[in-house]
Structures are given as structure tokens and as C-alpha cells.
Amino acid sequence: MAWDATDIALSIVKIAIVLFVMLNITPVMAWVERRGSALIQDRPGPNRVGPFGLLQAIADALKFILKEDIIPDRAHRMLYTLAPAFGLLPALTTIAVVPWGRGFRIPEMTIAGRKLFAGGRWFEPIVADVNVGILVIFALASLGVYGIVTAGWASNNKYSLFGGIRASAQMISYELSLTLAAVSVLLVAGSLKLTDVVWKQAGYFVLFDTVKIPAWNVFSPAMWLSFIVFVVSGFAETNRLPFDFAEAEAELVAGYHTEYSSMKFALFFMAEYMAMGTMSAVIATLFLGGWDIPWYHEPPTFLGFALSGLFMLLKCAFLMFVFVWVRWTIPRLKYDILMRLGWKVFLPMAIVNIVLVAAFIAGGWI
């Protein structure tokens, strides 16, 4: 495939859009988390800085930048400094393989006497449409734990170390059920490409020959089980309550980032919210039809792209609110219950579901 200047320019535009959204997840979600927790606990929450406290995030960011950056004396200096970057990189890059809108044809246009997009050009709103997309997500998601583990070890603090150890054990346990739950989606789509997964869900199930339900995987009779397994494992994978054992402030002070301050701490904070955003986008893509708008046929024009992109964003926003909602509703589990749940409940459930989906496919029902 030969790339010309237009392709490169379009790629840069896509990367810019994705980066803009990802970097803005943290301040927006920090606000949603604080106001949302206040809503759930029946108190006003931060409402002084700007309208509805919306500028609180900027005040927080300013505070992080101005704080003193402390490296403990007995810490492993190099790994202590690198750990936040280890955590942030996978969270920031995973989104590259997730499609975020209906592709459309850019018409040929003349701007300032120069002909652009000669003969029209197809714009696929995904940074890297690789044919092993879903595996890339798991590969990068599994690297996210290194930030936590490295931070826990390099801090040279017992609580931090416990946080790191717990995170690694938890990650190994829940990654299995996460991956196995996604296998059923791949069986149905017959492809590892996420654009194919979305297209597969763009149709309808017709109930009693009259009611049209969008063919999203979550509505499929064989898939709701894997949806549950995937979402719960996704909570564990992103270290969110009720599975935030790496942090567990009631037991471990602040877990793996006890010793961190200033922007290094802020990077962990950003990584957590970005991982949450990525996980929401992945859940939306695999089970909620991606950018598909129910009962609407998106035209391959800019309008279709914009509407579908907006819908993808709405789905992600809803899922991220669910993350916040769950955090302030369900208390933290005990560690042994977490491990038992992963190995003895979710893993068998995911395996049973694969067999179920395979049977459905063999029977020709889906």
C-alpha cells in the first residue's frame, strides 16, 4: 500500500482527534467522579470553582503541577521515575485500534485554487485498522499492570509492594476470563478486526416478525453471559472498585502510589481514567454495537460519520458513568473473595459461554 501526503495528513488528523479525547477524559471524569459521588452520597460536592464546579479539574491540575516532587531516599530511582510512564503508555495507545465512527467518502474539493482529495477519498475513523485488533487491545491492556507493579516495588514501601503484588495476581486471574469472554464475540463475528465486529452488529434481530431489535451482541441470546463476565472482568482489569486492590486505601494507605506525589501521581491518576475510557470503548465496541445507531441507517457521508461518532461517545460516556456509579455503590470485596470469584465463577462461566455460542453457531441460530 502506497501512502501519499493526503493519507499521512488524514492519519495525523485521526491521531489528533483520538489524543484530544483521551487527554480530556481525565479532567472530565475527575469532575464526574466527584460530583457523581456527591450525588450518590446526597451532598453538593465541589461546586465553587466555575459553574457547577466545572473548573475544579483545572484547579486540581494546577495543584498537582505546583506540588513538590518527592523521590524517597531508599527507592529505586530509575524504576520509580519510569513507573508512571509504564502505566500511562498502554492506557494511551490502546484506543488506536478501536473504530469510532462510520467511514465516509470525502468528496473532491477545491480550496484556495488547490484540488484536495482528488477523486474522493475514503475516511475510516480508526487510527490503525489492523486485522488482529482485539488481540492488540489485550496485549496492551496486559502491559498496563507493569506500571502498578513497578511503582509498588520501586517505592520500597511495604504497603506499595502489597499493592503491586495484589495487582499482578489479580491481573493474571481476570485477564483469562476477560479474554475468554471476548472469544465468543470473535466466534460470532468470525474476525479479529474490530471494524468487522461492529459491522456484524449493525443489523437487526427480528422478534415475532414485528419487533426489530438492534443486533448488538448484548441482546443476543448466547452472548449476555459473556457480556456480564467481560464487564466485571473489565472492572478488575482497570483496578476500579469493587476490585481496586492495588490501591485499597482502607488497608494499604494508597497502595502502589503511596509514595508518589505531584505530577508522577497525576500520571497514575490519568492512566486510571484513560484505562477506564478505553475499557468503555472496548465494551461498547464488542457488545453495544460500537458506533451503530439503533433503527437508523447511517449514510456514508459526513453526517453519518458525525452522528455515529457522537453515538459512540454517548455509549462510552454512559459506560464511564456506570464505572463511577458502581464505585460509589458497591463496597470493596475481600481479597480471597476476589480470587475465588475470578477462578471459580467467571472463568467457568466464560468457558461455558464459548461452548454455548459455538453450539448456537453450529445450529445456525445466529
Partner 1 sequence: MQFAIFFFFAAVAVIFALVVVLHRNPVVGALSLVASFFALAVMYVLLEAPFLAALQVIVYAGAIMVLFLFVIMLLNLQHHPETPTRPVQQFLGYTTSAGFGIALVYYLLKYAVFEKLPEGPFQSDVRAIGITLFERYIFPFEMVSILLLAAIVGALLLSARKGLPPKHPHEVAP
What residue ranges bind partner 1 (CB under 8 A)?
76, 79, 130-132, 135-136, 138-143, 145-146, 149-150, 152-154, 161-162, 164-166, 168-169, 171-172, 175, 179, 192, 335-336, 339-340
Nearer to partner 1, 5 or 111 (CB): 5
Distance CA 163, CA 351 (A): 29
Output the smallest distance, CB 153 to partner 1, in A: 5
Nearer to partner 1, 54 or 176 (CB): 176
State which amino acid sits at residue 348.
Answer: P
Distance CA 237, CA 203 (A): 30
Nearer to partner 1, 327 or 332 (CB): 332
Output the smallest distance, CB 339 to partner 1, in A: 6
Nearer to partner 1, 6 or 131 (CB): 131
Nearer to partner 1, 73 or 336 (CB): 336
- Contact yes or no for 79/256 (Cβ under 8 A): no
Beta strands per DSSP E along 77-209:
104-106, 109-111, 114-116, 121-123, 204-207
Distance CA 169, CA 291 (A): 34
Output the smallest distance, CB 143 to partner 1, in A: 6
Distance CA 319, CA 46 (A): 23
Nearer to partner 1, 164 or 304 (CB): 164
Distances, alpha carbon 304 to alpha carbons 79, 100, 177, 247, in Å? 46, 12, 35, 42
Output the smallest distance, CB 262 to partner 1, in A: 23
Output the smallest distance, CB 197 to partner 1, in A: 14
Dihedral class, residue 117 (left if φ above 0, else alpha if ψ from -120 to 50, else beta):
left
Output the smallest distance, CB 68 to partner 1, in A: 27
Distance CA 275, CA 207 (A): 36
Output the smallest distance, CB 218 to partner 1, in A: 24
- Contact yes or no for 197/191 (Cβ under 8 A): yes
Distance CA 154, CA 7 (A): 43
Distance CA 338, CA 355 (A): 25
Nearer to partner 1, 58 or 172 (CB): 172
